[in-house]
Chain A
Amino acid sequence: MALIATEELTKRYGQVTAVSELTVAIEPGVVGLIGANGAGKSTLIKMVLGLLPPTSGRASVLGLDIATDGTAIRQRVGYMPEHDCLPPDVSATEFVVHMARMSGLPKTAARERTADTLRHVGLYEERYRPIGGYSTGMKQRVKLAQALVHDPQLVLLDEPTNGLDPAGRDDMLGLIRRVGTDFGISVLVASHLLGELERVSDHVVVIDAGRLLRSSSTADATAASQLIAVEVTERTDELAAALREAGLGAQLVGTLLEVDLQDDTTYDIVRDAVAGLGVGLIRMERRRHRMSEIFTTPDGSR
C-alpha cells in the first residue's frame, strides 16, 4: 500500500496555484520532499493532514482519503510544523504529556510515552525546565517529540533543521534517520536543502512551483550525475585533457575541475593522471548537487 498517493492534486489560493496537478505515489520509508521556499511543500503537508481541502484532485494517506477521513488520518499521523509552536511557560514533559492526551492516549500511557519519547529525541534533565529557556536545538527536539509521542505510522516534518547550527543539523538528521529505520515510522521530511535530505531519505520527491519535477529513489537521483571536484596546484587544463583522454567527462569551473564520477576507479584515474603530470593535488571531493541541477530534468527543460 502506498504511504501517500496523490492524483492530479491541485490547490489554488485565488490566483496563486500552490500545488498543481500533482500525481505521485510514495512508498513507506523516509521520504524527502524538496522544493524552494514557496514551492508548495507546506501546502502539500496540510492537504495530507486533511486540514486543507484540495481545489481539485484526490489524495490518500495510509489508504485513507484526505477529503473524508481527516480525523482518522490525524489519529495515525504526527506533524511537526515549520514555525514555533511551543508555549514558553511549561516544561517539555508537561507539554508533551498534554499533547499525547490530545492525541487520545490515556493519562498513564501519555506519561510513559512522553518519558520514552523525550529520551529518544535526546532531552534529559532539561525536560523539567520551562521551554522558554531552551535553545533552538532543544525546541526542535520537543517539536519532534510531540509529533512522535502517540506512536504514529507516519510523521510529517516541515523544515525540521530550520535555524539549527551544523552540529544541530547533523543530530536532527541522524534522529530522523533513526525514526525511519529503528522506530519503523515512515517519515515525510520537507526541506529546501537537497544535500541534507540525500543523506537521510530513501526516496526524494522534488517539487517546484507546485509541480512535480522528479520522484525517485535517492540512489537513482544521485547516481545520475555525480561529480567530484579536483583542485591542483597548476596545469589544470592539461589535467582536464588527460582525463578526457582516459574517457572521463571533465570540465573547468573556475580553478576547479569537475569530473564525472562513474565508479570508484574514477578516483584512481584522477590520482594517476595528477601523478603523471607531476603537479600537486590540493583536494579531491564529492560534490553535492545544487537545487538547480536536480531541478533540471534530463532533457534539459524545466
Chain B
Amino acid sequence: MTTGQGVIHDLGYRHYDGARAGRRYIARALFLESAKGAYGLGRSAKSKVMPMLLLAAICLPAFIIVVITTVTNADKLAGDYTSYVLNVSLLVMVYVAGQAPTSVSRDLRFRVVSLYFSRPLERVDYVLAKYAAMTTAVFVLLALPLTILFVGALLAKLPLDEQVPDYLRSLVGALLVALVLAGIGLVIAALTPRRGLGVAAIIAVLAVLAGVQGAVQAIAVEEGADTFAGYAGLFSPFTLVQGVMSSVLGAEKVLEAEPPGALGGAVFFAATFLVVAACFGALLLRYRKVSI
C-alpha cells in the first residue's frame, strides 16, 4: 500500500490461499533438493568437501588425458571412454558410500520421515525421488569426466564419427552404473539409520563384490573356463554394466573376459534390470515398514 505515511503493518496471522501443488511437484522438489544435497549444495561448507574432492579426483585424469592427446597430436584419445569408467570405479564407490547414507539414513535416524509421510507425499514418491536423486548424482559424477574427454577430443580435432557414438554409449553406461550403484547404496543405507555404519557397510559390500568378481574371473581364466570367466562379471556392479555395454551396445571389450555371445549379453542385460528392480522393490518394502 502506498497511501502515504502512517501505514500500520498487520502482524497478525495471515492465511495462505495461494497455490498448493500435489504429489508430483512435491516429489520433484524433494528430488532436486536431494540431488543438490548429494554434492553438499544448499548444505554446510563441511558437507561440500568430500563430494567436491571426489568429483575433482575423478575429473583430473580426464584433463591429463586431454592434455596428452592435444600435445602429442595423437589420432585417438590416450584413454578410451569405456575403460575410464572402470578405472575410476573405486572413487565412485567411495562417493556412493559417503552420500547414500547422507541422503536416507539421516531422515530415518532423526525421524524426519514422520514429517514427510504426514504430508501429501506418498512413500513410493519418497523412494522414487531419493532413488532418482542418487542416480542423478552418480551419473553427473561419471558424465562430467566423460564430457571433458569428449570436448578434449573435439578440441584435438579427432574424427567426430568415431567419437560421438563412443561418447553417447559411455553416457548410457554411466547411467546404468549410476542406477545399479545408487540402488545398492540406498538399500544398505536405508537399513542402517546410523550414518557411519552405512558408509562402512556400503564400502564393504561393494569391495567384497568387486573382490569376488576379480578373483573368480582370474581363476576361471587361469583354468581356461572361458564361458564361466565371462559370466563372473555378473558379480560386481561395474563389470555387470561393462558386460551390457560390450555385448548389447557394442562398446570395446576391456575386461579379461566379457559375456559370451548373444546369450551372455541377454543374461547381463536381464541381471542389470533385475538388480535395479530389486533395489527399488526393497526400498519400497523398507519404507512401507517405517512408522511415523
**Residues of A that sit less than 8 Å from B by CB:** 46, 49, 51, 71, 74-75, 77, 79, 81, 83-90, 94, 98-99, 101-106, 109, 113, 116, 119-120, 130, 146, 150-151, 182-184
A270 CA to B115 CA, complexed, in Å: 53
Q: Is the CB of A84 within 8 A of B111?
A: yes
5 closest Cβ contacts across the A-B interface?
A: A151-B16, A79-B118, A104-B21, A183-B13, A104-B20
| B196: interface (CB < 8 Å) | no
Q: Mark B30-70, 1 if CB is under 8 A from A, else 0.
A: 10010000000011100100000000000000000000000
Known: A51-B292, A102-B115, A104-B25. A87 touches B16 (CB 8 A): no
Beyond A71-B122, A151-B16, A182-B13, whether A102 also contacts B110 by CB under 8 A is no
* Residue of A75, A99, A120, A184 with most partner-chain B CB within 10 A: A75
Question: What is the size, in residues, of chain B's interface with A at 8 Å between Cβ atoms?
Answer: 36
Residue among A88, A98, A120, A146 with most chain B CB within 10 A: A98
> Total A-B residue pairs with C-beta atoms closer than 8 Å?
98
* Contact (Cβ within 8 A) A86 B110: yes
Verify B117–A85 contact, CB threshold 8 A: no
Residues in chain A near residue B119, CB distance under 8 A: 74-75, 99, 102-103
State whether the Cβ of B29 lies closer than 8 Å to any Cβ in chain A. Answer: yes
Instruction: Give bound CA distance, A120 to B11, whole Å.
Output: 9
Select the residue from B19, B26, B30, B120 with max chain A CB neighbours within 10 A.
Answer: B120
Contact indicator B112/A85 (Cβ below 8 Å): yes
Main secondary structure of the interface of B (DSSP, over half): loop
Question: B12: CB under 8 A from chain A?
Answer: yes
In the complex, B224 has a CB within 8 A of chain A: no
The answer for the CA separation of A71 and B22 in the assembled complex, in Å, is 9
Contact B115 A109 (CB under 8 A): no
29 inter-chain pairs at a CB distance below 8 angstroms, sorted by A residue, are A49-B292, A74-B118, A74-B119, A79-B114, A79-B292, A81-B111, A81-B114, A81-B292, A83-B114, A86-B110, A86-B112, A87-B106, A99-B115, A101-B26, A102-B116, A102-B119, A103-B20, A103-B26, A103-B120, A104-B19, A104-B21, A106-B19, A109-B16, A119-B11, A120-B13, A130-B44, A146-B115, A151-B15, A182-B12
A197 to B270, CA, bound (A): 60
In the complex, chain A residues whose CB is within 8 Å of the CB of B14:
116
| A81 x B13 contact (CB < 8 A) | no
Residue B128 CB within 8 A of the other chain: no
Q: Which residue of B lies closest to A153 (CB)?
A: B15
Looking at the assembled complex, report how far the CB atom of A180 sits from the nearest CB atom of chain B, in whole angstroms: 11
Q: Is the CB of B18 within 8 A of A89?
A: no
Q: How far is the CB of B266 from chain A (nearest CB, A)?
A: 41
B120 and A75: CB pair below 8 A? yes
CB <8 Å contact, B20 and A150 = yes
Quote the shortest CB–CB distance from A71 to chain B (angstroms).
Answer: 5
Contacts A89-B44, A106-B19 known; list 15 others, CB within 8 Å. A51-B117, A81-B118, A84-B111, A85-B112, A86-B112, A87-B107, A87-B110, A90-B43, A101-B33, A103-B20, A103-B26, A104-B20, A105-B19, A151-B16, A182-B13
